Structure 1
């Protein structure tokens, strides 16, 4: 059991670095104490129930959330919250569960049973491969492969098995036989019936980077340029609250667009023919914040100290909240995972959440998933895909740890070159000399 910080108002008074550390550490408990008992993989969600606040485990492992959880585990080792040996043991359990899980042309489903590895359908036709969730998992696994580099039997086996999982993903299969776009889902029962093309701008850039980087089943670069980069919400160029937005849907969309891919992919100095991705993400965050300050719908609580719209639970279910889809729900992960892009503004939000809302928002696994002051509603849930980026992006702000690891992956560097990206992490190749 990790240290449990239960006094939110005392935390709010800490210096910045100590507060960030406390938030990271408490949030990491979701992936350590709150993981699936059978496999150690990340559960999709956990729910606090009853006056004793005992938590109820969901029965579904989340593949994308597990990728973020692996990255959070690396942070935990680096910060000394768990030992390297403890982390390797946990990763060994997780690795074994992933190897026994049912895969589809190498891709994992969105949800699975941690004990058996059987697929748990997300919906009637979404009952097999989910390429985007698989990409988040592979991103985390590749960071672990880079981090656990020691020459010991356990570490060597982990790296070898990560290579197996990585190499067996048939990214090219998900072009439906050579079309110039990736498809999100495939099922042995329903084939391509969902027919969900992965087009941008959204959270899926990492899927194309890995598909171009794959050692065995890579896609041609034209799949990125003709598929992702010609999405209906790719190019923008309009201004919102006086801030021009190069790419993305109106008002930028939910903030996880600036988080999920960039847990590993370092946006600092990352450019291609379409955008400067650090600048893009900073503008996206600024627009999201400016909307909440302007607060056109008059939602209680919104302001400079309370902003952040992204996908999360809300009083009526689950929704991808954004400036143009705003029902008054603030999701702590939206601002907290934006720490690299707006440090002073995010720290103001973190202190406000703790001081103003206390134990209604600060619980066993860090900040609850969301709250809505208009409805007097505070979530009793935590979600893996929301908790993970908090730990990871806060660490990237502090040390760049996950960015350095992921960008050091030789295959990733090759994939970025194939897609004509430039980055400070890309040393000149022989053909550049």
Structure 2
């Protein structure tokens, strides 16, 4: 049966509402459906000459109604309007350019109320897919950004990020452990990734912020930032060392990956990035512009892991005084403030009164375990927990009166913003909540973070949740719900949720003998092994 798609919509859909579908069927039974708590995910094979697909649903197996028309072969149907604990029957109908229809098949699926653990597992799994399904195919690396809305203003769809890949690496390791992928699939992906990095542009052993995924050539991050990026490379090596530890006693292929990572690690010239022996590390060096970026890593922000790795290097290590005189500013890194009665002992750069954006409590601690980690400047578990609670308290207080803010919607960090990209924090708040802020804070604030997860999923639904988990940012105040992802925000979600659940990333990174030696060299005490 064919339908004239130029009829009024009520007449067009009437056969489906009454339960009379097209007579012709292709690949019946090939529709794959997975039911969650409040949504269903559907996949189906592409049909020849199809220009779009009509999705229909029935709760009684007879009366079907339309849900959406899409060009993709995947659809996530949020079913709040249909109820809870549902038994649903879906049909997929292919539409060609002449608006002729062919039914591809149907399938049954159920939805069920999820426990908190099931919700956490769901969010972690969906976010893992950014780094697994969404990776750039030639390199296996994480794309800098994925825009579901299809717009790439910088024409950078296949540009990969070194730091974001480092965070996502922990997600892939979690995927192996949780059997979302096989061990062999993970091995093959890491082999591709390491081979790419071995041949990609490096500058004194240090990768740039961005690389072209097809070629491995540098993609300048800014006009003078076309060389080594020490901080992003530290985030990458944090992940790679965890992979080395995971596979170092494995089969021949796994040992070869671990060996290549070891060679890449030993080739990183951390001492070069002291600009010839100064007592501080510098973020950038360019073969064209030298040290013109002039960004010394001083004072507290997201860069602690850079000093840990630089001190830990067995080949190009820096002395402890570079940490104490550079990073810690000869002790001037300390302060004592108590916003909302939560004490901070580190002077957050440019945000001394209430702490910086929340990614400062995440990026360096994807592998570096803050539990029990203490030196002469701070107890890092207390610092990060209080930093998170201050950020939350600011949003709960909501002195600027932004719509939606409260105990179930908080979290300011760097993300997309209404007018581009911004580093949101208390005192620099534009009414934009970044899901990564609360979700990556699960180790520090599990109950408070769960409230945000539930609110986003149950009350905002498809406005904020897609095929790779929660989108990067939202603003109920501005009715701003971009369907866009950034690797540096998705990576901490999957990695820190896994650290909250099992401590996997922390265990792997912290067991590296060089890291243990480096922490001792810098005067760290570690109660948590």
TM-score by length of 2: 0.77
Secondary structure of the equivalent of 2:146?
A: strand
Q: Does 1:65 align with 2:164?
A: yes
Equivalent positions of 1:118-133 (< 5 A) are 118-133=217-232
* Counterparts of 1:12 and 1:184, CA distance in 2: 49
Contact 1:60 1:113 in 2 (8 A): yes
Q: Does 1:396 align with 2:499?
A: yes
Map of 2:121 onto structure 1: 21
Map of 1:279 onto structure 2: 382
Q: Does 1:97 align with 2:200?
A: no
Map of 1:355 onto structure 2: 458
* Counterparts of 1:340 and 1:125, CA distance in 2: 37
Q: Spell out, residue by residue over 1:183-241, the C-alpha distance to the aligned partner (whole angstroms, 9 max, x if none).
A: 00000100000100111211100000000000100000000001111299832311212
Map of 2:444 onto structure 1: 341
Structure 1: any 5+ residue segments left out of the alignment?
427-433
Change (3 A) 1:31 1:57: farther
When structure 1 is superposed on structure 2, of 18-27 and 5-14 the one drifting more is 5-14
Q: Spell out, residue by residue over 1:1-51, the C-alpha distance to the aligned partner (whole angstroms, 9 max, x if none).
A: 997854666799421111111000001110011000211100100001269
Q: Spell out, residue by residue over 1:230-285, the C-alpha distance to the aligned partner (whole angstroms, 9 max, x if none).
A: 29983231121222211123311100011011110001100000010000001000
Q: Which has the higher strand share?
A: 2
> Which of 148, 154, 165 is the matching residue for 1:48?
148
Q: Does 1:199 align with 2:276?
A: no
Equivalent positions of 1:167-246 (< 5 A) are 167-230=266-329, 234-246=333-345
TM-score by length of 1: 0.94
Contact 2:284 2:293 in 1 (8 A): yes
* Counterparts of 1:28 and 1:19, CA distance in 2: 14
Change (3 A) 1:211 1:2: farther
Equivalent positions of 1:269-348 (< 5 A) are 269-348=372-451
Map of 2:131 onto structure 1: 31
RMSD: 2.0
Q: Spell out, residue by residue over 1:360-388, the C-alpha distance to the aligned partner (whole angstroms, 9 max, x if none).
A: 00001000000011110012210111001
Equivalent positions of 1:349-388 (< 5 A) are 349-388=452-491
Map of 1:431 onto structure 2: none
Map of 2:371 onto structure 1: 268
> Which of 344, 353, 358 is the matching residue for 1:255?
358
The structure, 1 or 2, with the larger RCO (C-alpha pairs under 8 Å, 6+ apart) is 1
May I ask how many residue pairs the two structures share in their alignment? 422
Contact 1:46 1:57 in 2 (8 A): no
* Counterparts of 1:242 and 1:86, CA distance in 2: 48
Secondary structure of the equivalent of 1:25?
A: helix
Contact 1:201 1:233 in 2 (8 A): no
Map of 1:77 onto structure 2: 176
Change (3 A) 1:302 1:13: farther
Contact 1:42 1:66 in 2 (8 A): yes
* Counterparts of 1:338 and 1:303, CA distance in 2: 16
Q: Spell out, residue by residue over 1:277-301, the C-alpha distance to the aligned partner (whole angstroms, 9 max, x if none).
A: 0000010000000000011111110
Structure 2: any 5+ residue segments left out of the alignment?
1-31, 35-39, 42-75, 85-110
When structure 1 is superposed on structure 2, of 253-262 and 2-11 the one drifting more is 2-11
Bigger radius of gyration among the two: 2
Change (3 A) 1:187 1:353: same
